[in-house]
């Protein structure tokens, strides 16, 4: 009996996917994971929904939802939304949501009650700095507090956080609403960073020249800009960085990274905004 057309199509899909999964499983690095020192206008909610295959061991998927929000997915199925807010959200309900204080586009007053862990980057009680270090499944999340400018122009000490996501051997840092250069203590607390998600607006956050210095100090292999307002802001940053690092523009807002598949030298990868 001849196989049906449906079975034939399934066989072709399996044949195409298996080499990719096998290659990813073989591509494991011996380098250990990061070991840092422990230290308003209401807009419609924007959502992104992409039907994607499950991840193989060692793979991490990042989807640029928009503004400063990324959806980070682990091989174990854990989902994180960064700078979760009431305007730009992934369609999927994340297991963990990180938030920052600076503006309403970086935090939510009504997070989805189905979220298992909501991690504010500031201490809501005002008693000091936020302190987060949690593990859920194959993901570890921790924060590194930073200062921000208050609405009055003064300094709001420890008012925001950079969040670090450790999945297997990969370390991803989301710099949040960073307002100042990083000091040696920040760099020690961050540890080794493989992928950095960083703001490039140059006005609401750290100026672009200062952000370049931050990136030089981190030396992450993958650098993904966020928090830009139109192509002009982004292009000004890219013009400043084109003599420093290679620049890749992707057509889709999704990227899958592995430790072994990181670029050999730091590279700016631009994902399209929404």
pLDDT in tens, 32-41: 345 444 333 3
Judge whether 24 and 59 are in contact, CB under 8 Å. yes
Tokens read off for 256: 């899958």
Closest by Cα among 90, 96, 55, 100 to 75: 55
C-alpha atoms less than 13 angstroms from C-alpha of 10 in its C-beta half-sphere: 5
CA 80, CA 58: separation in Å to the nearest integer?
17
Query: Hey, what domains does the chain have and what are their CATH numbers?
Result: 40-270 (3.60.15.10)
Q: What is the pLDDT of residue 204?
A: 87
Question: Which residue is listed with tokens 């600076």?
Answer: 102
Q: What are phi and psi of 72, to 5 degrees?
A: -110, 130
Tens digit of each residue's pLDDT, the chain (274 residues):
444 444 444 444 344 434 433 333 333 333 334 544 433 333 344 454 445 669 999 999 999 999 999 999 999 999 999 999 999 999 999 999 999 987 888 989 999 999 999 999 999 998 899 999 999 999 999 999 999 887 777 888 988 999 999 999 999 999 999 999 999 999 999 999 999 999 998 888 999 999 999 999 999 999 999 999 878 899 999 999 999 999 999 999 999 999 999 999 999 999 997 5
In this structure, the dihedral spanned by the alpha carbons of residues 164, 167, 169 and 170, taken in order and rounded to 10 degrees, is -50
Between CA 217 and CA 183, with CA 223 as vertex, the angle to 5 degrees is 25
Model pLDDT, residue 18: 40
5 is written with which tokens? 């057309």
Which of 161, 235, 162 is CA-nearest to residue 196? 162
Strand 195-199, strand 170-174: pairing: parallel
d(Cα 121, Cα 101) in Å, to the nearest integer?
Answer: 7
Query: Which residues make Cβ contacts (< 8 Å) with residue 274, sequence separation at least 6?
Result: 46, 48, 64, 65, 66, 88, 253
CA triple 163-146-222, angle to 5 deg: 45
Burial of 154 (0-12, 13-18, 19+ CB in 10 A): exposed
- Residue 62: the pLDDT is 98
Residues 184/206, Cβ–Cβ less than 8 Å: no
**Rounded distance, CA 143 to CA 98, Å?**
9
CA distances from 268 to 174, 211, 244, 263 (A): 15, 13, 10, 10
Strands 59-66 and 69-73 turn out to be antiparallel
């Amino acid at each position: 009996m001849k196989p049906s057309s449906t079975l034939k199509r399934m066989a072709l899909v399996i044949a195409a996917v298996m080499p990719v999964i096998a290659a990813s499983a073989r591509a494991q690095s011996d380098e250990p994971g990061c070991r840092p020192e422990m230290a308003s206008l209401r807009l419609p909610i924007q959502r992104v929904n992409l039907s994607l295959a499950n991840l193989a061991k060692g793979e991490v998927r990042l989807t640029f939802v928009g503004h400063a929000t990324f959806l980070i997915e682990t091989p174990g199925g854990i989902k994180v939304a960064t700078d979760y807010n009431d305007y730009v959200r992934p369609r999927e309900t994340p297991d963990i949501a990180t938030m920052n204080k600076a503006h309403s586009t970086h935090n939510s007053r009504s997070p989805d009650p189905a979220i298992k862990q909501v991690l504010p980057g500031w201490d809501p009680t005002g008693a000091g700095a936020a302190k987060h270090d949690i593990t859920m499944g194959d993901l570890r999340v921790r924060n590194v507090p930073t200062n921000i400018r208050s609405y009055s122009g003064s300094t709001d000490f420890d008012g925001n956080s950079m969040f670090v996501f450790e999945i297997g051997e990969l370390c991803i840092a989301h710099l949040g609403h960073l307002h100042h250069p990083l000091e040696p203590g920040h760099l020690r607390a961050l540890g080794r960073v493989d992928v950095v998600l960083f703001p490039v607006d140059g006005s609401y956050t750290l100026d672009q020249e200062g952000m370049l210095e931050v990136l030089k100090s981190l030396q992450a292999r993958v650098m993904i800009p966020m928090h830009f307002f139109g192509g002009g802001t982004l292009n000004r940053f890219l013009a400043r960085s084109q003599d420093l690092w290679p620049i890749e523009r992707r057509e889709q807002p999704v990227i899958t990274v592995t430790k072994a598949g990181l670029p050999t030298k730091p590279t700016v990868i631009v994902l399209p905004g929404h």
